[in-house]
Amino acid sequence: MDKYNKVIKELIKFRDERDWEQFHDSKNLALAISLEASELNELFLWKKGEEVENVKIDKIKEELADILSFTFLLAEKHKLDVFDIVLEKIKQNAEKYPVAKAKGTAKKYNEL
Amino acid sequence: MDKYNKVIKELIKFRDERDWEQFHDSKNLALAISLEASELNELFLWKKGEEVENVKIDKIKEELADILSFTFLLAEKHKLDVFDIVLEKIKQNAEKYPVAKAKGTAKKYNEL
Amino acid sequence: MDKYNKVIKELIKFRDERDWEQFHDSKNLALAISLEASELNELFLWKKGEEVENVKIDKIKEELADILSFTFLLAEKHKLDVFDIVLEKIKQNAEKYPVAKAKGTAKKYNEL
Amino acid sequence: MDKYNKVIKELIKFRDERDWEQFHDSKNLALAISLEASELNELFLWKKGEEVENVKIDKIKEELADILSFTFLLAEKHKLDVFDIVLEKIKQNAEKYPVAKAKGTAKKYNEL
């Protein structure tokens, strides 16, 4: 069993031992991802310059883990392969952001 | 090479071809995760009951891919193993949410 | 002096006594609004049916106050009248969402 | 009638003409605030230094108006006076962030 499958299995085990699947509709899982993403962002609020990269790694680790947990659970609920969907999106983005136009600029594709 | 490493390699290739690493400080990557999470949530806004699970899978797939892309990039920036940090967090959460107290309730650990 | 001006004056006094204007660039104020909005959303996470309207009013009050504080400060920074901009937006939205098409549906304007 | 009451009256008129109150439970209104706050944040994504304050005022105006609209509607739903709750919160924050400790630092109250 590869590592991703091990993680998914553990997440489901954790969820099912607590009888929490009843709360995990797609809307609430999406909201949970968003709230964890905000906790990650809170670590950087008001920070600038080198302070940004001085945030404690343990905090970042915890918030990233929370985001990933709910994201993996939502992907699993919809039988999506988390790696395939990212690879597919990279291809789409390559068309939206051709190197010749996008290089070195942070503009959105509709402003390129 | 396993699939996760393949994905990371492609994400970095995409980023570097466009010379975008200059924008990817931790604060902006965290913000990007949050904005993609909001786009996911927008799919469910105002929806209730069975409408929630009738959102088009293609939309969910795209937004999850965006969230995962920036999350993987931020994890990679900090040399974090995305699987290990989730497994570690599950262990921590098992202590915060013991089955005996948390079963069947959506209360936060500090209200159990 | 009307009530809104009193509130703005107090917000600025609070900020300046603490010498916090240095942190209040538009990007960080926007992020602060978002983080407070997430704290509001956290009150409703996993809740459904009548639970949604049973959230303690004191919690809602606090989070709304935080959202409003940062929103008022960002508006003030850009010399925007919070009432005029809402009235203007209502007019714009009336064109995007004509009653004949939008009545009783939660669809976005580009799907009407 | 003061300006705030005029705005609330217009917001409710707009909502009721479209029969949208059915969608406006507190959970969805809170989510709507959050999504609008993200659209505001998107204006600043990847921007740094003086770029931050060069974002077009018209965009900021629109997003602030959206945030305010849903925030006012949620406050109205709970019969909260938007000015009183901010004034009350400023008093609470003054205790959490005493000038002597908080001056010139962006630390959270529990780290002061």
Residues B48 and B94 in one domain: no
Q: What range does the domain containing B43 cover? A: 3-80
- Quote the minimal CA–CA distance from A81 to chain D in Å: 27
Neighbours of chain C (3+ CB pairs under 8 A): A, B, D
User: In this predicted structure, what is the pLDDT of residue D72?
Assistant: 98
Distance from CA of C72 to the nearest CA of D (A): 9
For residue range D59-98, list pLDDT tens digits in order.
999 999 999 999 999 999 999 999 999 999 999 999 999 9
Whether B26 and chain D come into contact, CB under 8 Å, resolves to: no
A58 and A105 share a domain? no
CA nearest to C68, candidates A6, B90, D69: D69
Instruction: Give A53-58 contacts, CB < 8 A, sequence gap 24+.
Output: A53/B25, A53/B26, A55/B26, A57/B78, A57/B80
| Partner-chain contact A106 D46, CB within 8 Å | yes
Answer for the pair C13, D20: CB distance below 8 angstroms, yes or no: no
Query: Residue D1: what pLDDT?
Result: 62
B45 backbone φψ class: left, alpha, beta (φ>0; ψ -120 to 50): beta
For chain B, say whether D21 makes contact (Cβ under 8 Å).
Answer: no
Shared domain for D22 and D54, answered yes or no, is: yes
Q: Is C3 within 8 Å of chain D by CB?
A: yes
The answer, yes or no, to whether residue A92 has pLDDT greater than 90, is yes
Instruction: Give me the CATH number covering residue C11.
Output: 1.10.287.1080
Q: DSSP letter for C29, please.
A: H
| Residue C70 pLDDT exceeds 70 | yes
Integer Cα distance of D24 and D19 in angstroms = 10
**Same-domain check for residues D31 and D74:** yes
Same domain? For D28 and D54 the reply is: yes
Shared-domain flag, residues C69 and C90? no
CB contact under 8 A, D106 and A34: no
From chain D, the residues in CB contact with B44 under 8 A are 31
Quick one: pLDDT at residue D4? 95
**Is C26 in the A-facing interface, judged by CB distances under 8 Å?**
no
Q: What is the DSSP string of A65-84?
A: HHHHHHHHHHHHHTT--HHH
In chain D, helix, strand, coil percent, each to 5? 75, 0, 25
Do both C76 and C99 map to the same domain? no
Same domain, B40 and B59: yes
The residues near B54 (Cβ < 8 Å, ≥ 6 apart) are none
| Chain A interface test: which of B34, B63, B112 (most A C-beta within 10 Å) | B34
Task: Tell me, yes or no, if B46 comes closer than 8 A to chain C by beta carbon.
Answer: yes
ipTM of the modeled complex: 0.97
- Residue of higher predicted confidence among D1 and A38: A38
User: C14-50 pLDDT, tens per residue?
Assistant: 999 999 999 999 999 999 999 999 999 999 999 999 9
CB-based contact C30:C10 (threshold 8 Å): no
Does C50 share its domain with C66? yes
Six token digits for residue A16 = 């099912």
Contact D88 C65 (CB under 8 A): yes
Chain D: nearest CA to A45, how far in angstroms? 9
Q: Are residues A40 and A91 in the same domain?
A: no
Task: Tell me which chain A residues have a C-beta less than 8 angstroms from the C-beta of C46.
Answer: 23, 28
Q: Is the pLDDT of residue A84 over 80?
A: yes
* SS3 per-residue string spanning chain B: CCHHHHHHHHHHHHHHHCCCHHHCCHHHHHHHHHHHHHHHHHCCCCCCHHHHHHCCHHHHHHHHHHHHHHHHHHHHHCCCCHHHHHHHHHHHHHHHCCHHHHCCCCCCHHHC
The percentage of chain C sitting over the pLDDT mark of 90, rounded to a whole number, equals 96
Rounded Cα distance, C104 and C106, in Å: 7
> Average pLDDT in the A37-61 region?
96
**Averaged pLDDT score across all residues of chain C:** 96
Least confident of A26-35, A47-56, C10-19: A47-56
Q: How confident is the model at residue A66 (pLDDT cuts 50, 70, 90)?
A: very high
Tally of domains within chain A = 2
Distance separating alpha carbons of residues D112 and D107, to the nearest angstrom? 6
pLDDT of residue A1: 62
Report the C-alpha gap between A47 and C94 in whole angstroms.
39
Q: Residue A27 corresponds to which amino acid?
A: K
> What is the reported pLDDT for B1?
62
Scanning chain A, the segments in alpha helix (DSSP H) are 3-17, 26-42, 57-77, 82-96, 99-102
Interface mutation target, options D27, D42, D78, chain C, most CBs of C under 10 Å:
D27
Identity of residue C61 = K
Q: Is the per-residue pLDDT at A28 higher than 90?
A: yes
Say if residue B96 is in the same domain as residue B73. Answer: no
Question: What would the mean pLDDT of B48-75 be, rounded to a whole number?
Answer: 96
Q: Does residue A46 come out as left (phi exceeding 0), alpha (psi in the -120 to 50 range) or beta? A: left
In chain D, residues with a C-beta closer than 8 Å to the C-beta of B31 are 41, 44-45
Q: Are residues A15 and A70 in the same domain?
A: yes
pLDDT digits (tens, 9 = 90+) for D6-63: 999 999 999 999 999 999 999 999 999 999 999 999 999 999 999 999 999 999 999 9
> Residues A9-32: what's their mean pLDDT?
98
Q: The pTM is what?
A: 0.97
